[in-house]
């Protein structure tokens, strides 16, 4: 199934699904592989049609299964299809907070903040309090849509009323600021994260290193690397790749 998905032999995939269904061999992983392949290729009807196949072969469909399928559609930038599937199935299962977070992520990935806002409000109306995952998803979505002031306002609300920003929250914000060249603000949030007890990781250092490198502030790049070493954090391949790229672009071949 995985090979057929990667090579886009979709008709054969469906045939294999039917073959497996007749022999009682279908698993959640089978459907995950299928929907991921269909979503990546924008095969909307086939992706949504998988649920009918589940029904046909009496595959047990619970909230976790549906969340998984909605998530794969969202990751494939098929937010509208995920929403359609959710609305078709809503009366057949009890959605949980993950269901709404997955839908939220799907709309944020296609930069549709109007629909994302509707899901956020729906989540609250259904009695769910958006958790840190939902907040981080919305924060990332706002920044991808260049709603910087609204994103920072959301971040401030998180600090004041909770859920408190975690390392992921800071990483999302710092990464965006570094890409925009706002290094003073990025470093400010980085220091705040450290003060709050957040453990830095290679991904954050990569953002900061790239940000300073793009401004030709190689002294600050070296200072960050020394600081990283002193704190006992090892650079990963992504950080090394960023350093190599920076130095090549600046003719620092030695």
pLDDT > 90: percent of the chain: 62
With respect to residue 203, please indicate whether it lies within any of the assigned structural domains: yes
Q: Name the domain count of the chain.
A: 1
Is the model's pLDDT at 143 over the cut of 80? yes
Instruction: Please report, for residues 13, 79, 165, the alpha-carbon distance to residue 8 in angstroms, rounded to integers and kept in the order given.
Output: 9, 21, 40
The domain that contains 176 carries what CATH number?
1.25.40.10
With respect to residue 174, please indicate whether it lies within any of the assigned structural domains: yes
pLDDT confidence of residue 84:
87
Q: Which domain holds residue 198?
A: 166-254
Residues 5, 11: Cα–Cα separation, whole Å: 10
With respect to residue 200, please indicate whether it lies within any of the assigned structural domains: yes
With respect to residue 121, please indicate whether it lies within any of the assigned structural domains: no
Ramachandran quadrant class, 24 (left: phi over 0; alpha: psi -120 to 50; beta: rest):
left
Q: pTM here? A: 0.84
| pLDDT-based confidence at residue 91 (cuts at 50, 70, 90) | confident
pLDDT confidence of residue 141:
96
pLDDT average, residue stretch 33-47: 82
Ramachandran quadrant class, 27 (left: phi over 0; alpha: psi -120 to 50; beta: rest):
beta
187-213 pLDDT tens trace: 999 999 999 998 888 899 999 999 999
Is the model's pLDDT at 61 over the cut of 80? no
How many secondary structure helices (H) and strands (E) does the chain include? 15, 0
Residues 200, 103: Cα–Cα separation, whole Å: 29
With respect to residue 242, please indicate whether it lies within any of the assigned structural domains: yes
Query: Are 135 and 114 contacting, i.e. CB atoms less than 8 angstroms apart?
Result: no
With respect to residue 44, please indicate whether it lies within any of the assigned structural domains: no
With respect to residue 238, please indicate whether it lies within any of the assigned structural domains: yes
With respect to residue 226, please indicate whether it lies within any of the assigned structural domains: yes
């Amino acid at each position: 199934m995985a090979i057929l998905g990667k090579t886009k032999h979709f008709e054969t995939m469906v045939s294999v699904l039917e073959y497996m269904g007749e022999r009682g061999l279908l698993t959640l992983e089978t459907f995950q592989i299928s929907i991921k392949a269909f979503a990546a290729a924008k095969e909307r009807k086939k992706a949504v049609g998988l649920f009918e196949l589940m029904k046909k072969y009496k595959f047990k469909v619970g909230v976790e299964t549906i969340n998984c399928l909605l998530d794969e559609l969202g990751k494939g930038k098929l937010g509208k299809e995920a929403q359609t599937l959710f609305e078709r199935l809503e009366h057949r299962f009890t959605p949980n907070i993950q269901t709404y977070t997955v839908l939220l992520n799907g709309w944020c990935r296609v930069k549709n903040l109007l629909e994302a806002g509707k899901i956020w409000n729906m989540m609250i109306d259904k009695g769910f309090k958006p958790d840190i995952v939902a907040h981080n998803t919305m924060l990332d979505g706002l920044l991808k849509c260049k709603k910087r002031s609204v994103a920072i306002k959301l971040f401030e609300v998180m600090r004041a009323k909770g859920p408190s920003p975690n390392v992921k929250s800071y990483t999302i914000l710092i990464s965006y600021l570094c890409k925009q060249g706002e290094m003073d603000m990025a470093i400010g949030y980085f220091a705040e994260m450290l003060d709050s007890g957040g453990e830095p990781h290679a991904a954050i250092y990569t953002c900061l290193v790239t940000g300073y490198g793009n401004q030709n502030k190689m002294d600050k790049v070296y200072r960050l690397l020394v600081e990283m070493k002193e704190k006992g954090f090892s650079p990963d391949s992504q950080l090394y790749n960023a350093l190599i790229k920076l130095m090549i672009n600046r003719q620092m071949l030695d």
